[in-house]
Amino acid sequence: MANESLARSTPYLAVDLGVLDRNVEAMAKLARDRGVSLRPHVKTHKCREIATRQTGAGAVGITVATTSEAEIFADAGFRDVFIAYPLWVDAARGARLRSLGERCALRIGVDSSEAVAALARNTSGRGDVEVLIEVDCGHHRTGVVPEAAGELAVAAARAGLGVRGVFTFPGHSYNPGGAERAAADEARALGQAAASFQSAGMECDVVSGGSTPTARFAAAGPINEIRPGSYVFNDAQQLELGTCAAGDIALTAVATVVSRSAGKVVLDAGGKVLGADRPAWATGYGRLADYPQARVCALSEHHATVEWPSSLALPELGAVLGVVPNHCCAAVNLADELLVVVDGAASVVWTVLARGANG
Amino acid sequence: MANESLARSTPYLAVDLGVLDRNVEAMAKLARDRGVSLRPHVKTHKCREIATRQTGAGAVGITVATTSEAEIFADAGFRDVFIAYPLWVDAARGARLRSLGERCALRIGVDSSEAVAALARNTSGRGDVEVLIEVDCGHHRTGVVPEAAGELAVAAARAGLGVRGVFTFPGHSYNPGGAERAAADEARALGQAAASFQSAGMECDVVSGGSTPTARFAAAGPINEIRPGSYVFNDAQQLELGTCAAGDIALTAVATVVSRSAGKVVLDAGGKVLGADRPAWATGYGRLADYPQARVCALSEHHATVEWPSSLALPELGAVLGVVPNHCCAAVNLADELLVVVDGAASVVWTVLARGANG
């Protein structure tokens, strides 16, 4: 266990395996209890070892955001992959998707008739490239209005594509107190989309919702698949949204106090380690794992400035502290590896296999 | 030139070599004209090819932020390296610094007597590990008050460290209209620090300032070295601060329109490509290279939502556009490579050699 090859200079990312495994199992149980399929989003962790745990716990397949993530996970042996993204498919991407379709069951998101036509044209309209129609349930980023899903499904089928169903991402669940309403929006929009399939004479096998904040509101109803991602690690966002408790956080940036002044310390983990995500409602750029009242009040590329609670003594220079990033997906995508900790001891290193796989 | 191996699926980062070379030469000329040494910060680009251009244009050495950046650039042949960071040096880092000190002229930042003692203890107090005292000139992140610099210099010398001078980072120059005042703060603080060396009977060879926004205000006076970084690429921050013109921007994220709705388009370059940095005064999460009125108004991991000027037709789905990141240093640190474009044609790929080198 005290393996010298596992010694790391700060800053680095550490994963508490016990917490991770508990989170993986809790979401698998939630999906079983609610009678929905679980297709976790692996953009969060980009690690083969974690995806393997998720499928081992009963996930029906994986969700990815990009073609290159799909390629990397297909090469790693995953056989059921959904690219939950409205790809624009030119000839080069079409060739990559055809190759992927030979290696795994592949689904792709679409949200326009133009994208359907481009996908069909550049994959020779093969029925084994299946699509899900993306609908907007209130996040207003991508997706058609729910009532238009059936019409687009018909267009996709006419273009020779296999149409499996509908999906949405309730991104507006990322607001304090907003998750339950977003989950209701999600269920309503997916229900309307499925109904519009029926009106158009199309079958709708898959009705897929997303997001860690809304997962706990998933209930019997139109939704039959969920795609949460962040739940494996959790982060300061999920904590401040009330989606998780402090004890459910599996990922921390391990950092050293390099400077101190009145009421604050500076750590050597900046935005290039933690990520710079900061929603308007967040209380800072991150939290301290063992000091609930401390806040990362300023962030540079290589410095996190922490406001220290006045009731506590400032930590010494050289003290090593755990920082909880605001957004685990962003932090992990900055790291080439994760140090896995078991019962407090460094155990093994996992490669962030799909780090930077955006293309 | 039309090399198939250079074909890339979007999103990816592209560098206009003509603009980059002009930026490199312009800053070198500014330093020559003002009679100050140029020691550019390579955390911005992390590329051997760009650092080589900078030293070729007259830079006296390079600045880095981390021990691992220093190691990577020393291995790449750079022989004069300043780690402009108040490192906390334990035994392991001390061994790395000693090894580095055998390969290059090495300077390290310090801002406390404790850090001086730890550095001396763990590098055996060797005179060839030289330090610069960091002073705070108004950014209030790290650094001692200017008047305390001489006292800390004496402590470092007594601990057996070579003391070369003082440095500061005027981070408060990153505010609209704030650069000139920050440059004045910088000069005043460095002058006070140099005077405190003299009072303490210490020599102060190096008086080093920083930052792309303040570089143009560097004038004869106490400062004899500048450490700008972002100027090689520039970015939306520098544009909105007025530090550069649109034609001075050398780095863009090349992205595809994947979705459209009334008045906006969604591009496939999100925060995992552009970085999520957004200062409060920025007009968005990035700019469009060819559409000055467009703004990235929302950013997810894999989506940039762009508010499109109402006077212009929306681009077609599948259109390929250039996005200017808010912060070039953050964007480059997300990419494994940069596609170098010469006169509009892909020419070569540069490896982001020190990507993720935070430790």
The pLDDT value given to residue B58: 98
Q: Distance between CA atoms of A281 and A278, rounded to whole angstroms?
A: 8
Cβ pairs bridging A and B (under 8 Å):
160
CA B172 distance to own-chain centroid: 15
Q: pLDDT tens, B54-94?
A: 999 999 999 999 999 999 999 999 999 999 999 999 999 99
CA torsion sign for B342, B344, B345, B348 is positive
Q: Distance between CA atoms of B335 and B272, rounded to whole angstroms?
A: 9
Q: Output the average pLDDT for chain A.
A: 96
DSSP 8-class letter at B315:
P
Tell whether B107 is within 8 A of chain A (Cβ). Answer: no
Q: How many CA atoms lie within 13 A of A256 on its CB side?
A: 19
Which one of A167, A272, A273, A320 makes the best mutation probe of the B interface by having the most chain B beta carbons within 10 Å? Answer: A272
The pLDDT value given to residue B318: 98
Regions of chain A short of the pLDDT cut 70? 1-2, 125-127, 220
Tokens 């390079």 correspond to B62
Q: What is the DSSP string of A277-339?
A: ---TT-SSSEEETTEEEEEEEEE-SS-EEEEPPTTSPPPPTT-EEEEEES-HHHHHTT-SEEE
Q: Distance between CA atoms of A251 and A248, rounded to whole angstroms?
A: 9
Q: Distance between CA atoms of A49 and A32, rounded to whole angstroms?
A: 22
The pLDDT value given to residue A1: 43
DSSP helix/strand/coil, B19: helix
Q: Distance between CA atoms of B336 and A283, rounded to whole angstroms?
A: 32
DSSP 8-class letter at B322:
E
In one-letter notation, the amino acid at residue A53 is: R
Q: Which residues of B289-309 are buried (b: 16+ CB within 10 A; e: fewer)?
A: beeeebbbebbbbbbbbbebe
Q: pLDDT tens, A247-260?
A: 999 999 999 999 99
Query: pTM, whole model, 2 decimals?
Result: 0.97
Q: Furthest-apart CA pair in chain A: how many Å?
A: 69
Which stretches within chain A are classed as H helix? 17-34, 48-56, 67-75, 91-103, 113-122, 149-158, 179-199, 212-215, 236-241, 271-274, 328-332
Q: Distance between CA atoms of A200 and A82, rounded to whole angstroms?
A: 24
Q: Distance between CA atoms of B31 and B164, rounded to whole angstroms?
A: 20
The pLDDT value given to residue A90: 97
A264 CA: distance to closest CA in chain B (Å) = 9
Contact present, A285 and A267 (Cβ < 8 Å): no
Q: pLDDT tens, A83-102?
A: 999 999 999 999 999 999 99
Regions of chain B short of the pLDDT cut 50? 1
The pLDDT value given to residue B344: 94
A85 CA: distance to closest CA in chain B (Å) = 9
Spell out which residues of chain A touch residue B43, defining contact as CB-CB under 8 Å: 301-302
Instruction: Tell me which residues of chain B, numbers 202 to 261, contact chain A at a CB-CB cutoff of 8 Å.
Output: 256-261
Q: How many CA atoms lie within 13 A of A19 on its CB side?
A: 21
**CB neighbours of A195 closer than 8 A, spacing ≥ 6?**
none
Tell whether A354 is within 8 A of chain B (Cβ). Answer: no
Which stretches within B129-175 are classed as H helix? 149-158
The pLDDT value given to residue B131: 97
**CB neighbours of B255 closer than 8 A, spacing ≥ 6?**
B10, B11, B267, B268, B269, B273, B304, B320, B321, B322, B323
Q: Distance between CA atoms of B29 and B182, rounded to whole angstroms?
A: 22
The angle at the Cα of B84, spanning B83 to B88, to the nearest 5 degrees, equals 75
The pLDDT value given to residue B1: 43
The pLDDT value given to residue A221: 79
* Number of neighbours of residue B5 by Cβ within 10 angstroms: 7
Prediction ipTM score: 0.97
Tokens 């904590």 correspond to A239
A33 CA: distance to closest CA in chain B (Å) = 30
Instruction: With CB atoms and an 8 Å threshold, state whether B358 touches A85.
Output: no
The pLDDT value given to residue B2: 52
